[in-house]
Amino acid sequence: MSTSRLFGSVRAAARSAAGGVRRASSAAGTRAGPSKLALGAALLAVPAALYLSRPAAALDARVAPAKGPRAVSVAEVLRQAEGDAVWVVINGEVYDMTRFLDDHPGGRDIILANRSRDVTPLFRPRHPADQLDGGNLPAEVVRVGPLAPASEAELAEIALSISAEALAEEERIRAAREAFEERGLGSVINMRDFEKVAEPLLSTVAWAYYASAGDDEITKNANAAAYQRVEFRPRVLRRVGQADASTTLLGCASSIPVFIAPAAMAKLGHPDGEVNLTRGAGATGIIQAISSNASCGIDEMVAERLPGQPLFYQLYVNRDRKKAEELIRRLDANKFDAIMLTADAPVGGKRERDLRLKGEFEGPAGGVSVKSDDTQGVSQAMFAGVDPDLCWDDLKWIRSITSIPVMIKGVQTVEDALQAYNAGADGILISNHGGRQLDTTRPSLDVLLEIRKHAPQLLRPQFRAPTGPSAASLAHPERLTPADDPAQKPTPRPFDIFIDGGVSRGTDVVKALCLGANGVGVGRGFLFAQSVAGEEGVEHAVNIFKQEIELALRLLGANKISDLRPSLVEVKDK
């Protein structure tokens, strides 16, 4: 791809982020593929070297500045490089950040290190396009006015510098992107391929954030390994000419029993970020769960939502309950289909890959480190506003605000699964945050097995039988489809159990469903897919899962999701 075409992709992505371009919201409509936008992903992920090789303000001159009291000259911005006032330029506007320094989730050092600079290339990949609009602008941030027209030389004075390391990384990403485009998406035949392809296409900071997990990453690895302990018990001579992987998740139709688990900062991998996930989910008929820390705004994603397309929202409750209530009411107004109340992240985990690259993330795009005693990294900075005192009583408070179904995300014990049901939740998501929080917690699949053993009443009746064959069941084959057990009366209301963590195969999905899960979430896999090829990457990932799930169904002797039973799997001892 030529450099001119490359910058055309960046400009197109920026216009889209500003609301200037909106693709047709139709599953049958024409949508841009990776050949137009994917290479721009390397530019908006740190270090964004090519993007920075031209003054950022010049690139943003097409954006009409908000009305302000006066235009601010470059010279005036530079005069604030010393003194009490701290100014930055974002999208052609000058902002006074002085009173916001201590409230900035990423810490004050990142702002101070870039005062009197155009920080648009640092800001854009990490924040929704509407972050500085109207009611979204923090009260402590003061919009001074639009940047006055300036020459290229003047704009260069406030542009971020580019280090040799940043240029080398940009060249690495460019070469990797060109090599992949020669091979094309056809070379990606499973979800692990997406991960392998994505690594060289991402900046070191983006890769560290996506791939990181808590401490020694033991739980992250155990999540995936747990599925290897489950073996299939296929039934033969069944009519399996056709297979249907469609199902419902919390009452919402889905083409496959997989949803996009909430994962943040998608713009680090692609300029369209989470909007790619919305478009891809709509085109393929699956559900996207949106993170509170998404790098795209709610309005941006809702604007791309197809008629009837379900959306879930992963809610981090802000310690400022007024802000939290405003967000919940916003979800209500936008007709979200479920809220996933985040329970496993009252504070951020220690994600060491992320922490080791803290300086690169927080410093100028050229890779200049910011020295600080504060060891917050990309991930931990996101938890600055989260209420660590969130408790079970708050479920009632949420219920008083909205009628949207509420799931508890992050359940890791049977005790809390029962507590969630008794507290009135509509379901749970068994999750350890992808191993990104407390390391050496049990794999998510083990928690599902614990629920099967100690609280089978939470499962649908056909999933309450012991896993695998017993002497009695082998003597009486009809019992392989268990009859209702009076001692295990069904719950008086629907209660969905979702699971995420370590899922990379359609066979993993089918195993989880055989053991009683209603649906399975995949987070990192879809981040990698959209980083590789934008919306087309998401669609390709869904098709991979669909084909693998349908193949597993047919080889098990099943035609549809409702045919799955515990008797079709056996769990080996550790």
Whether 33 shows a pLDDT value over 80: the answer reads: no
How far CA 455 is from CA of 25, 485, 514, 567, in Å, comes to 43, 13, 16, 18
Q: Which of 104, 127, 270, 433 is catalytic?
A: 433
Report the alpha-carbon distance of residue 4 to residue 10 in Å, rounded. Answer: 10
In this prediction, residue 213 carries a pLDDT of 83
CA 444 to each of CA 129, 372, 432, 499: distance values in angstroms, whole numbers, following the listed order: 35, 36, 7, 7
Residue-level pLDDT at 381? 54
| Per-residue confidence (pLDDT) for residue 436, from 0 to 100 | 87
Q: Which of 316, 446, 500, 563 is catalytic?
A: 316
Given a cut of 60, whether residue 55 has pLDDT beyond it is no
Residue 108 has a CB neighbour count (10 Å cut-off) of: 17
Q: What's the CA gap between 93 and 267, in Å, rounded?
A: 21
| DSSP annotation string for 158-170 | HSPP--HHHHHHH
Of the ranges 228-242, 372-386, 414-428, which one carries the lowest mean pLDDT score? 372-386
Q: What's the pLDDT at 358?
A: 55
pLDDT band (50, 70, 90) for residue 402? very high
pLDDT above 90 for 45: no
Q: Which of 14-28, 406-420, 532-546 has the lowest mean pLDDT?
A: 14-28
Nearest-angstrom CA–CA distance, 207 and 199: 6
- Cβ-Cβ contacts under 8 Å for 194 (sequence gap 6 or more): 188, 525, 528, 529, 532, 537, 541
The whole-number average pLDDT for the span 90-106 is 88
CATH number assigned to the domain covering 3-158: 3.10.120.10
CB contact at 8 A, 568 and 556: yes
pLDDT at 135 over 80: no
- Asked if residue 42 has pLDDT above 70, the reply is no
Amino acid (1-letter code) at residue 75 = A
Does 433 qualify as catalytic in the annotation?
yes
pLDDT digits (tens, 9 = 90+) for 480-530: 343 334 344 555 789 999 999 999 999 999 999 999 999 999 999 999 999
- Check pLDDT > 90 for residue 322: yes
Residue 195 pLDDT exceeds 80: yes
Q: Whole-number mean pLDDT of the chain?
A: 82
pLDDT of residue 490: 57
The number of helices, as runs of H, and strands, as runs of E, in the chain is: 24, 15
DSSP percent split of the chain into helix, strand, coil, nearest 5: 45, 10, 40
Given this model, what pLDDT does residue 87 score?
96
Question: What is the predicted pLDDT for the residue at 138?
Answer: 85
| pLDDT at site 516 | 97
Q: Comparing 3-158 with 191-363+373-571, is the CATH topology the same?
A: no
pLDDT of 126 strictly over 60: yes
Average pLDDT over residues 420-432: 97
pLDDT confidence of 52, banded at 50, 70, 90?
Answer: very low
CB 343 within 8 A of CB 314: no
> Looking at residues 445-458, what average pLDDT do you find?
96
- According to the model, what pLDDT value does residue 523 have? 96
Question: Does pTM top 0.85 for this prediction?
Answer: no
- Residue 260 gets the label, from left (phi > 0), alpha (psi -120 to 50) or beta, of beta
**Angle of helix 506-514 versus helix 524-556 axis, rounded to 10:** 70
Which has more confidence, 110 or 90?
90
The CATH number, out of the four listed (3.40.50.880, 3.40.50.720, 3.40.50.80, 3.20.20.70), of the domain defined by the range 191-363+373-571: 3.20.20.70
Q: What is the mean pLDDT of residues 177-181?
A: 96
107 vs 20: which has the higher pLDDT = 107
pLDDT band at 475, cuts 50/70/90? very low
Q: Compute the C-alpha angle 95/63/132, nearest 5°.
A: 40
Check pLDDT > 90 for residue 91: yes
* Mean pLDDT of the 344-373 span: 55
To the query of whether residue 316 is one of the catalytic residues in this protein, the response is yes
Under DSSP, is residue 160 helix (H, G, I), strand (E, B) or coil? coil
pLDDT at res. 310: 98
**pLDDT surpassing 70 at residue 4:** no
Query: What does the block give as tokens for 542?
Result: 């869904």
C-alpha–C-alpha distance, residues 286 and 261, integer Å: 11
Least confident of 2-6, 134-138, 187-191: 2-6
Question: Given a cut of 90, is residue 142 above it in pLDDT?
Answer: yes
Gyration radius of the chain over CA positions:
25
Token readout for 443 is 């794999």
> Which burial class, exposed, middle or buried, applies to 521 when counting CB atoms under 10 A from its CB (0-12, 13-18, 19+)?
buried
pLDDT digits over 209-229, tens only? 898 888 888 999 999 999 999
- Per-residue pLDDT for 266 more than 80? yes
Q: What is the pLDDT of residue 469?
A: 59
Q: Which of 160, 111, 124 is nearest to 44 (CA)?
A: 124
Of the listed 60, 344, 446, 508, which one is catalytic?
344
| Domain extents in the chain | 3-158, 191-363+373-571
pLDDT of res. 277: 98
98-102, 105-109, 235-239 — which one is most confidently predicted on average? 235-239
| Catalytic annotation present for 454 | no
Straight-line distance from the first to the last Cα atom of the chain, in angstroms, rounded to the nearest whole number: 50
Does residue 23 or residue 129 have the better pLDDT?
129
Instruction: Look at residue 160 in the predicted model and tell me its pLDDT.
Output: 87
pLDDT at 76: 95
Closest C-alpha among 357, 383, 384, 454 to residue 414:
454
Is the pLDDT assigned to residue 476 strictly greater than 70? no
Mean pLDDT along residues 46-63: 36
What is the distance between the alpha carbons of residues 346 and 430, in angstroms, rounded to a whole number? Answer: 16
Q: Report the C-alpha gap between 195 and 172 in whole angstroms.
A: 17
Q: What is the pLDDT of residue 493?
A: 85
**In the prediction, which pLDDT does 301 show?**
97
Model confidence over 288-303: pLDDT tens digits?
999 999 999 999 999 9
